């Protein structure tokens, strides 16, 4: 009965908001899963700026999500639905993965991975794990050490992206445990940080450093200023075109970015917006498309791409799940003048056939290679791509 009630409520919400649940089609994904070699044909659909090319870096990496690369060249890949963590090696330097190791299975949404001083950190929903001295044990990985197990166990927006900041601390987000709600515990809708050993400041479990963030699954630091930048996924059920997802900038600790009171910097929430005005909060640097689900974000720091890309922002847009016409499913470029966005445009697109409204891939995360090329993970096509510039 509970399941039937939930489905009825979902239908009512759908009708009231003029949306229809519109999950990506599985036909292409099934074809790719059965025959990964067809990926080369699908990649011909990708549109890139002149001089850029894309190729398969790794296939058959089921549910490939967040990535972290070690200085020795091992690419670690987390998953969400699969519950596994992988290590990938390109042994001969031809930009094709030669070896895939499964480091763990059966974990609870191990989306986030981070590498530091020889150790691999993995984020589950409620805890942070560490695989010590991992690169010497890829074929026979050790049992992980639990670094911190004091994060909430709620799975709604419970999967995490993690990364070490310039301060040497591990940054761990905690998404809102709902579509839209007001929680008393400040841990929700936040970004926290912990020491590498799992402790927080003055002996507490963790430190909340940013507030009002519905669900960030990607953040990074400016290569010059060291300031935090992050994507945030806007709420659902306000219609096809509202609210915009966000690119945000946090030059200091203790800022608030609006959730659940204000969205996209200027749109009061229809339930909680009367409690606090939008002027109380920090607006986004750039409004992204509605329901685009921006995840991984990186500043381009390599030397391969043309100069105009240097220190500009690239974002992996996972794509909509409940919009009547799909949107996202691409990599976008936000051009900055200082800390001000001057443009927002597609960089790599074609995973979505806009005419047929059909999808064959969903970008998740971005990672740079030492030669200046860029990796893109895809949890729908179970692949990782390499984008490079030939000129």
Average pLDDT rounded to a whole number, residues 78-101: 98
Average pLDDT rounded to a whole number, residues 280-304: 98
Q: What is the DSSP letter of 271?
A: T
List, in sequence order, every residue forming a beta bridge with 208; answer none if it has no partner. Answer: 192
Element (H, E) at 15: helix 2-16
Instruction: Answer whether residue 182 shows pLDDT above 70.
Output: yes
Instruction: Answer whether residue 88 shows pLDDT above 80.
Output: yes
Instruction: Answer whether residue 4 shows pLDDT above 80.
Output: no
**Please, which pLDDT band fits residue 237 given cuts at 50, 70 and 90?**
very high
3-state SS class at 10: helix
- Beta carbons of 332 and 285 less than 8 angstroms apart: no
Instruction: Answer whether residue 376 shows pLDDT above 60.
Output: yes
What are the tokens at 138? 């890829």
Q: Please, which residues have CB within 8 angstroms of residue 136's CB and are 6 or more apart in sequence?
A: none
Element (H, E) at 97: none
- Beta carbons of 180 and 272 less than 8 angstroms apart: yes
Average pLDDT rounded to a whole number, residues 359-382: 98
Instruction: Answer whether residue 338 shows pLDDT above 90.
Output: yes
Q: What is the pLDDT of residue 21?
A: 60
Q: Picking from 16-20, 124-128, 193-197, 258-262, which range would have the lowest pLDDT averaged per residue?
A: 16-20
Average pLDDT rounded to a whole number, residues 253-273: 98
Q: How far is Cα 371 from Cα 347, in angstroms, rounded to an integer?
A: 19
Nearest Cα to Cα of residue 133 among 92, 74, 200: 74
Q: Give residue-wise pLDDT tens across range 53-83.
A: 999 999 999 999 999 999 999 999 999 999 9
Q: What is the pLDDT of residue 20?
A: 47
Structural domains of the chain sorted by starting position, each given as residue range(s) with its CATH number in brackets? 2-389 (2.120.10.30)
Q: What is the pLDDT of residue 15?
A: 39
Q: How far is Cα 309 from Cα 314, in angstroms, rounded to an integer?
A: 9
> pTM above 0.75?
yes
Q: What is the pLDDT of residue 7?
A: 45
Per the prediction, the chain carries an average pLDDT of 94
Q: What is the pLDDT of residue 204?
A: 80
What are the tokens at 249? 């900038």
Q: Give residue-wise pLDDT tens across range 12-52.
A: 444 344 444 677 877 888 888 888 889 999 999 999 999 99
């Amino acid at each position: 009965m509970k399941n039937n009630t939930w489905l009825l409520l979902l239908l009512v919400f759908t009708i009231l908001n003029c949306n229809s649940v519109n999950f990506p089609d599985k036909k292409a994904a099934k074809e790719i899963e059965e025959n990964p070699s067809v990926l080369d044909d699908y990649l011909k659909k990708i549109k890139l700026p002149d001089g850029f090319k894309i190729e398969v870096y790794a296939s058959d990496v089921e549910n490939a999500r967040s990535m972290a690369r070690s200085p020795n060249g091992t690419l670690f890949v987390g998953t969400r639905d699969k519950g596994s963590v992988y290590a990938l090696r390109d042994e001969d330097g031809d930009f094709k993965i030669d070896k895939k190791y499964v480091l763990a299975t059966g974990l609870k949404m191990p989306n986030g991975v981070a590498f530091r001083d020889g150790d691999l950190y993995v984020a589950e929903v409620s805890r942070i794990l560490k695989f010590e001295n991992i690169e010497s044990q890829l074929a026979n990985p050790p049992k992980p050490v639990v670094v911190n197990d004091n994060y909430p166990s709620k799975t709604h927006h419970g999967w995490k992206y993690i990364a070490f900041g310039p301060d040497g601390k591990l940054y761990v987000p905690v998404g809102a445990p709902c579509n839209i709600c007001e929680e008393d515990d400040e841990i929700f809708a936040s970004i926290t940080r912990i020491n590498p050993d799992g402790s927080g400041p003055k002996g507490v479990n963790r430190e909340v450093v940013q507030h009002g963030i519905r669900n960030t699954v990607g953040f990074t630091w400016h290569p010059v200023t060291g300031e935090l930048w992050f994507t945030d996924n806007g709420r659902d059920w306000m219609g096809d075109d509202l609210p915009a997802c966000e690119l945000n900038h946090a030059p200091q600790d203790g800022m608030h970015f609006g959730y659940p009171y204000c969205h996209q910097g200027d749109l009061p929430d229809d339930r909680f917006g009367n409690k606090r005005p939008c002027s109380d909060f920090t607006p986004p640097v750039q409004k992204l498309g509605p329901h685009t689900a921006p995840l991984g974000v990186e500043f381009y720091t390599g030397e391969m791409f043309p100069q105009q890309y240097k220190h500009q922002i690239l974002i992996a847009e996972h794509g909509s799940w409940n919009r009547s016409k799909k949107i996202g499913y691409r990599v976008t470029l936000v051009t900055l003048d200082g800390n001000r966005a001057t443009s927002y445009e597609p960089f790599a697109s074609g995973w979505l056939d806009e005419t047929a409204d059909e999808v064959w891939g969903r970008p998740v995360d971005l990672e740079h290679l030492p030669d200046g090329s860029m990796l893109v993970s895809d949890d729908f096509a179970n692949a990782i791509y390499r984008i490079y510039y030939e000129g």
